[in-house]
Amino acid sequence: MTDTDLVARVGLLLDEQEAADLFSGTVLISHNDQPILETARGYAIHPKVMRNRLDTKFNIASVTKMLTATAVMRLVSEGKFDLHTPIAEHNPDLPYADQITIHQLLTHTAGFDRYWNDSYRAARSDLRTVAGYLELFAKTPLQFAPGTRHHYGNAGYVVLGVLIEQVMGISYYEYMRREIFQRAGMKNTDFYEMDLPIENCAVGYTRENWFGPVDGQLRSNHFIYAVKGSPSEHCFSTVQDLYFFFRALRTGRLLDPFHTNLCMTAHASAEQPGVSYGYGFHIIDDGKHGHVVGHGGRALGGDAFALMYDLGYIVIVLSNYDRPSARNIVNCIADMLIA
């Protein structure tokens, strides 16, 4: 299939999905480092108040982990962190600090679970610091002995954020702006505080209900999540900025080749067949679409994927609807790439 054919077929797919109100968001596809499709569909604010644009900011959910891991690996490359030394070396007061390593935190093998608990729900309107997130699970027992298996969660990446603050003496959020977003040219990416005005930001809309029975009603997710994201999730970005992130990785502006490859090397088997986890990156070898590296993110009112294919394509899809809004688009594009 030529790129012209691919663009035409994806355009028809997006038209159909938007008309059926199954997709709202933005899509970027590049081939050999040249964007061949950049498009937006649906509405950032309902009911039909503001349409999505290419530079509309979306909640990228767990795609955030890919950004945090890159920040951690910058510090590893500078000799400020050692991957296999217990984190007690940096802060002995952190939970289980004498038992866990940065390698285990990056690969979800440290034993931490998730922090979506009653404490999170009670505190979410005040959560604006990494320390605030740490309090949600600091006294929670580990799920298993560190290093014994992989369990995908979000708490471990909060600990990584605390370590960044400890070593650098500035907030995790400031470090990310200075050392990742600015270096990569990501001008529309940040951990925005959702109770402040944000220009051109998509509202997340969900038909799920975290607080009661599902009734099919379309709801804003503003009252579901914390007012500010964590090192694990809920950074806001655009398809163009995530493309700039991938380009910055590939051109050595964020990490040297050795540490970039280390991020994208399988270090743990993930829960799904054919999927492994590197340092903040999923590595997919499903026997059908070749070798794929990147990350997905799922929220109530959000679905995001940023993927690099060894076929030379980058595919980034962001949506302000529930999964499978973006996942369906990504799966169809992946099948088109091998047609």
The per-residue pLDDT for 16 is: 98
The pLDDT of residue 211 is above 80: no
Interacting residues of 53 by C-beta distance below 8 A, sequence separation 6+: 26, 40, 44, 200
pLDDT digits (tens, 9 = 90+) for 221-248: 989 999 999 999 999 999 999 999 999 9
Residue ranges of domains in the chain:
3-337
HEC per residue, the chain: CCHHHHHHHHHHHHHHHHHCCCCCEEEEEEECCEEEEEEEECEEECCCCEECCCCCEEECHHHHHHHHHHHHHHHHHCCCCCCCCEHHHCCCCCCCCCCCEHHHHHCCCCCCCCCCCHHHHHHHHHCCCHHHHHCCCCCCCCCCCCCCCCCCCCHHHHHHHHHHHHHHCCCHHHHHHHHHHHHHCCCCCECCCCCCCCCCECCCEECCCCCCCCCCCCEECCCCCCCCCECCECCEECHHHHHHHHHHHHCCCCCCHHHHHHHCCCCEECCCCCEEECCCCEEEECCCCCEEEEEEEEECCEEEEEEEECCCEEEEEEECCCCCHHHHHHHHHHHHHCC
The pLDDT of residue 59 is above 80: yes
Q: What is the mean pLDDT of residues 174-190?
A: 98
- Rg of the chain taking only CA atoms, in angstroms: 19
The CATH number fitting domain 3-337, selected from 3.50.50.60, 3.90.1750.10, 3.40.50.620, 3.40.710.10: 3.40.710.10
pLDDT digits (tens, 9 = 90+) for 282-316: 999 988 888 999 999 999 999 999 999 999 999 99
The token pair that represents 238 in the structure block = 């655009």
The pLDDT of residue 212 is above 80: no
pLDDT digits (tens, 9 = 90+) for 138-163: 999 999 999 999 999 999 999 999 99
